[in-house]
Chain A
C-alpha cells in the first residue's frame, strides 16, 4: 500500500469504498421498501458519501479533511436518526422514500455540516478560547508540502489555494452537468434523457431539470470560492500584511464551504429538484427532498461568503502597510472592498428567503403560499435583493484583476485610477437598488418597473468608466501578450458583449419579450465569462509563479486561450440567436418546427470545445506545479509588493515591513517604485 502514490491510493479507495457504500445503501433501502432499487437515491447517496470520503482517506489518511467528511457522514446519520426517533415517539412515520423523511434529512444535514467543522478541526482554537485558554498568535504549520492543503491551515496563502482548487473542482462538476444536458439539447426530441430513464428516482426530463438547476448553483458557489481564492491569496500580499485580520475566521470561511458543496451534490441524488437555481415557490415548496439539500447547501455556503468578506473588509481597513492611503491602494483591493460590502450584507437575504421556504415545507408556515395568505412575489423580492447584487460579487473582483494586470502588460499607468476605484463602489451601491428588473413579468406592481428600469441602466455608467479606462490605459502602450494578458484582453471583449446585450433585458418593453428566453442565458454567460472566468484564468496564470515558484507552460496556455475564446463566442451568440427565435430557457426539449436544431448542435460542439480547453488548462496547472519552468523572481516586471520578494512566497510573507513611497501604477515614470522595505529598528517587535 505504501508504494502506491497517494493520488492512486485515493482512487483505489474511492472505487472500493464507493462499492461498499453502494451495497450498504442498497441493503438498507431493501429493508425499507422490500425491493432492490439499483439506481435509487439511497444507494447513490451512500456511494457518493463513502467514495468521496474514501478518496481523501486514501490520499491523506484519517486526519484533516478526511476526518471532517467522516464526521459529516456520522453527524448526518445521528441527526437523521434522532429526528426519526422523535417522529416514531410522536407516532409519525419514522422513515420515508429516501430512507429518512424530509425533516430527518434537513436536521441530519445541518448536524452533519456542523460535525464536519468539528471533525476537520477548524473550531479547535475557538473551543479553547471558550474555556479561557489562549492560543499563540504566530501559528505553526502542522503539515508540510502538499499535505498542508488537506488540513486546517491559518495561512491566508494556503487558504487561497484551497479556495481556488475547490473552485476548480466545482467548476468541472458544474461543467460536466452542463455537457450532459447540453448534449440532450443538441437535437430536438428526447434522445437519452427520456421518460423511460430512471436514475436517482428521476426520469430523464426530471434529471435534466436537476442537472440544469445544479449547474447554475454549483457554478455560482464555485465563482464565490474562486473570487475568494484570489482575493485571499493576493489582497494581504498587496496590503503588505502578514495575514488576514482574523486567520481562524478565514479558515472557517473556507472549510464551511466544503460541507456546503457536499450538500449541494447530495440534492442531485435525493430526488433532485426542478426549479432552476432560483428556487421560486410555489414550485420549490413541493419539489422533492433534494430541494431542501439545495437550500441548505446554499445557506451554508452563504456563511462562507459573509464571513470571508467581513474578514477582507477588516483586513483592508486595519492591516495596510505604512503610507498606503486610500488613493494608493492597489485597484484590486478597491474591487475586493466593493465586493465585500455586497457579500457581507445582501447574502443574508438569500439565506432568509431560502430559510422561509424550508420552514414553509417543514412546518407548513404559509409565507409564500397564497392559500394561506402568503405572497410568492415576496420571495422573489427577498431572493433578488441578494441575487442581483451577487452578479457584481462575481464580476467586480474579476474586473479588478483586469485593471490590476493591464498596466503591468502595457507598461503604462492605469488611466483614471480614482474613477476606477469609485466605479467599483458605484456598481456595488447602485447594485442594491436594481433587483426588481428580474421581476418585470412577475406580476409585481407595474409602477415599480420604471424606476427599476432606470436604476438598472444607471449601472452602465460606472461600468463604462472601467471600459474607457482600459482602452485609455492600452492607448499607445507597449503591449506584450503573454497568457495572462491574453485572458485580460479576452475578458474585456467578452464582458463588453455581456454589457451590450444587457440593456435589452433592462428595458421593460424589450424584456417582456426576452424574459425567460435563451437570450438571457447567452447574456449571462457573456457577463460571467468576461467578468469572472477570463480574469480568473488570467489571475491563475499570473500569480501561479508566486505560489509555486514555477511558471505555467506558455504554449499550452495560448492553446487554452485560442481554443476557448472563439468557441465561447460561438456558444453565447448561438444561445442569443436561438433565444431571439423563441427558444425558452430551462426546458429539456423544443419544437423541431422552430428550426433551431442546427444552431443548438453548433452550440453543443462549442461547449465541448470549451471543456476541452479547460482540460488542457488542468493538465497545464497540475503538470506545472512539478515540471514548470522555474520562475522565482519578478517574472512580469511588476511594481506590486508581492513581486519584490522571491517566489514562492515565504510563510509569513514579508521579512521586513514595507512602506508605500510612490504610485501603484507609475509604470514608465522613472520613479523609485511603489514600495520600499524598511529596515526594522533593533528592538522592534518581531
Chain B
C-alpha cells in the first residue's frame, strides 16, 4: 500500500471531510426550509458526492500506476479488481438514476408530505457518521491495525443497522400511519407512496447487502486474513459502503427536501 501521508494526518483528513459533509448537510436542510431552491440543493448534493467519492472512496486510485507489472502480483490484481468494482458501481448508478427519473416524472417538484423531517435528517446523519467510521477503519487497516479496523467496522455496522431500522421499521410505519401507502389494492393514493417505498426500498436493499459485506469482512479480519499490504476485501467493502452513502446523498433531498420551503 502506498502512503503519501502519515497515519495521524490520514485520520485527521477523515475528520475534516466529515465536518465539511456535516456542514453541507446542515446547509442543505436550511436551504430546503428557507428557500425553494432546487438548483441549490443539486449543487450541494454534487459537492457532497464529490467529497465522498474523492476522499472516502479514493476514486483517484483508478489512475494509479502499477507498482508491479506482473499480472499475477497482488498489487496488479488489486488495481484490476478496483477497476471492476468501479464499473459495477457505474452500472448500479444507472438503477438509481432510473429511479430518480421515475420520481421526477411522477411527482415533479412536489414531495411526499407525510414524511417525518426530523427522522429523515436523523437517519441521514446516522449514515454519514457510519461513513466516517468506515473511513477510519480502512485507514487503520492500511497501516496494519486489525484491532482498530474491527472496532471501527463494528461501529459502522451498528450505525448502518440503525439506518436500516430507522427507514424500514420506523419511517415506513410512520409514513403508512400518516396515510402514505404503496398500494396493495387500496384506493388510489397517487403514485407518491409507490415512489417513496420503491426508492427507499431499493436503497435499503443495498444497505442490507453492504451490511452483509461488512460482516463478512469483519469476520475475516478476526481470522487475520488482512494485512497492511493485502486487504482488497476491506477496500472493496469500504468503497461499496461509501457508495451506498453517496446514493443517499441524492435520495435524501429528492424525497425529503425538494418542495419543503415555507411559502
Task: Indicate, yes or no, whether A interacts with B.
Answer: yes
Chain A residues close to B by CB (< 8 Å): 129-132, 137, 242, 245-246, 249, 306, 310-311, 313-314, 317-319, 344-349, 351-353, 356, 359-360, 363-367, 371-375, 378, 381-382, 385, 685
Can you report 25 A-B residue pairs in the complex whose CB atoms are below 8 A from each other? A130-B216, A245-B84, A311-B84, A318-B76, A318-B80, A344-B91, A349-B94, A352-B98, A360-B194, A364-B185, A365-B182, A365-B194, A366-B183, A366-B188, A367-B102, A367-B106, A367-B191, A367-B194, A372-B189, A372-B194, A373-B192, A374-B106, A381-B105, A382-B102, A685-B70
Q: Which of B91, B98, B183, B193 contacts A382 (CB 8 A)?
A: B98
Q: How far is the CA of A511 from the CA of B235 in the complex (A)?
A: 51
Chain A nearest CB, measured from B239 CB (Å): 15
Chain B nearest CB, measured from A306 CB (Å): 6
Also in contact, A372 and B87, with CB within 8 A (given A352-B99, A365-B197, A382-B101): no
B116 within 8 A of A: no
Q: Which of B87, B98, B182, B191 contacts A374 (CB 8 A)?
A: B191
Convert B128-171 into 0s and 1s, putting 1 for each residue whose CB lies closer than 8 angstroms to a CB of A: 00000000000000000000000000000000000000000000
Q: Is the CB of B184 within 8 A of A363?
A: yes
Also in contact, A363 and B182, with CB within 8 A (given A132-B225, A348-B95, A352-B95): yes
Chain B nearest CB, measured from A321 CB (Å): 10
Which A residues lie within 8 Å of B72 (CB)? 137, 685
Q: Is the CB of A346 within 8 A of B94?
A: yes
Q: Is the CB of B91 within 8 A of A345?
A: yes
Which A residues lie within 8 Å of B101 (CB)? 378, 381-382
Q: Which of A130, A306, A378 contacts B106 (CB 8 A)?
A: A378
B117 within 8 A of A: no
Cβ-closest 9 pairs across A and B: A364-B183, A365-B194, A348-B94, A373-B190, A132-B220, A373-B191, A352-B98, A132-B225, A365-B183
Q: How far is the CA of A349 from the CA of B192 in the complex (A)?
A: 21
Q: How far is the CA of A257 from the CA of B192 in the complex (A)?
A: 35
Chain A nearest CB, measured from B146 CB (Å): 13
Q: Is the CB of B190 within 8 A of A372?
A: yes
Which A residues lie within 8 Å of B80 (CB)? 245, 314, 318-319
Q: Is the CB of A344 within 8 A of B87?
A: yes
Convert B172-191 into 0s and 1s, putting 1 for each residue whose CB lies closer than 8 angstroms to a CB of A: 00000000001111101111
B71 within 8 A of A: yes
B79 within 8 A of A: yes
Of B79, B105, B233, the most chain A CB neighbours within 10 A belong to B105
Q: Is the CB of A372 within 8 A of B188?
A: yes
Which B residues lie within 8 Å of A129 (CB)? 233
The residue on B at minimum CB distance from A686 is B72
17 new A-B contacts at CB < 8 Å, known A359-B198, A364-B183: A130-B216, A245-B84, A246-B84, A314-B83, A344-B87, A349-B94, A352-B95, A352-B99, A356-B102, A359-B194, A365-B183, A366-B183, A366-B188, A367-B194, A367-B198, A372-B191, A378-B105
Q: Which of B106, B185, B216 contacts A373 (CB 8 A)?
A: B106
Q: How far is the CA of A353 from the CA of B88 in the complex (A)?
A: 19
B219 within 8 A of A: yes
Chain A nearest CB, measured from B221 CB (Å): 9
Chain A nearest CB, measured from B135 CB (Å): 23
Chain B nearest CB, measured from A403 CB (Å): 25
Q: Is the CB of A345 within 8 A of B194?
A: no
Q: Is the CB of A364 within 8 A of B83?
A: no
B223 within 8 A of A: yes
The residue on A at minimum CB distance from B222 is A132
Q: How far is the CA of A318 from the CA of B223 in the complex (A)?
A: 31
B92 within 8 A of A: yes
Q: Which of B87-114 contact A (CB under 8 A)?
A: 87-88, 90-92, 94-95, 98-99, 101-102, 105-106
Which A residues lie within 8 Å of B186 (CB)? 364
Chain B nearest CB, measured from A387 CB (Å): 13
Q: How far is the CA of A346 from the CA of B95 in the complex (A)?
A: 9
Chain A nearest CB, measured from B231 CB (Å): 12
Q: Which of A131, A318, A353, A366 contacts B83 (CB 8 A)?
A: A318
